Amino acid sequence: MPVQVRPRADYSNLMIIDSHTHIDITLESAPELKDTLFINARENGVAAMVQIAAHVDSYEYSRSLSHSPTPVPVFYTIGMHPGEAHESDTSAGIHFAREHKDDPKFIGIGEIGLEYYYAKEHAQIQKKVFREYLDLAAELGKPVVIHSRDAFEDTLSILESYQNDINILIHCFTGDREQMEEYMKRGFYISFSGILTFKNAKAIQEAALHTPLDKILIETDAPFLAPSPMRGKTNQPAYLWHTFEYLAKLRNLPVDEISLTLVENTLAFYGIPFLP
């Protein structure tokens, strides 16, 4: 039996897109989801997923998954997680991306960025790799998905020289209203994860209340950060519903209106012409 997350029948025609998920890592941490992850997603209104390949092992997996007959269409990005940049073959993603640049399912570069919470001692390497992948995005004409943790100032200063040429998304936004406004001044998109629903996430909720509607995306970042009331469980795309509903209530908007807006924003940011 698939999990049922959507609480009300009148939601049944709504669509949402999981703009950032890690299906390979989710199935590694919860192998029992192998047969249900996609069905659960489809049953709960997920119309598409963006599989983020930010590790060398994920590239070929993601490409091949995106071309498999899954119950929900999958697109993918190629990147290098900043927390692993110092111990990875960082050129592999660059080669892979160039080789598959014309694949219609390959829609962005990411996640890339700066991780100072876990790996600040490798900041210099992270910055170098971050710039290499930003150059790659500019070269290929693809948008970028940014991971930035405890690195707001450095992230902004590096992105400054790219912001006129590339679509930029700050994934899993965990800043406050002031940081959100700095991002908006530069034309970035921001994406809210399950953290938005946490009781203690007041600053993030305040930011979400004031973010221009045409700049918001939502994501699971599965298997991490399951939203309330699933907090602590292995996250999966079906649970995006909780984050969506929280945002709709916070903004006091009709669910059909905000679902359409979020889908449009996701398609616009990634440059997806239509859903298969």
* End-to-end CA gap in the chain: 26
Phi then psi for 96, rounded to 5 degrees? -60, -45
CB 7 → Zn ion: shortest distance, Å?
Answer: 27
Closest to Zn ion by CB, 43 vs 111, is 111
Amino acid of residue 85:
A
Residue with tokens 């997996």: 61
- 2 or 224: whose CB is closer to Zn ion? 224
The alpha-carbon radius of gyration of the chain (Å, integer) is 17
Q: How far is the CB of 23 from Zn ion (least distance, A)?
A: 11
Q: Shortest distance, CB of residue 84 to Zn ion, whole angstroms?
A: 12
Edge to edge, what strands does the sheet with 16-21 contain? Answer: 16-21, 46-53, 74-78, 106-115, 144-149, 168-170, 189-192, 216-218
Q: Which residue is nearest to Zn ion (CB)?
A: 221
CB of 109 to Zn ion, least distance (A): 13
Binding residues for Zn ion, rule: CB under 5 A, are 221
Q: Which CB sits closer to Zn ion, 24 or 221?
A: 221
Q: Identify the bridge partners of residue 217 per DSSP, sorted by sequence position.
A: 191
Phi, psi of 89 (to 5 degrees): -80, 95
Residue 252's SS3 state is: coil
Helix (H, G, I), strand (E, B) or coil at 91: helix
Those residues whose C-beta lies under 8 Å from the C-beta of residue 173, and which sit 6 or more positions away, are: 180, 190, 191, 192, 193, 204, 207
The least CB distance from residue 57 to Zn ion, in Å, is 14
Q: What is the phi/psi pair of residue 147, to 5°?
A: -105, 120
Q: Which is nearer to Zn ion, 6 or 171 (CB)?
A: 171
| Least distance from Zn ion to the Cβ atom of residue 234, Å | 14
Cis peptide before 229 (omega within 30 of 0): yes
Nearest CB to Zn ion, comparing residues 77 and 259: 77
Give dist(CA 18, CA 256) in Å, integer: 16
Q: Decide whether 43 or 84 has the Cβ nearer to Zn ion.
A: 84
- Please say which residue, 193 or 197, places its beta carbon nearer to Zn ion: 193
CB of 222 to Zn ion, least distance (A): 9
Closest C-alpha to 233, from 219, 220, 246: 220
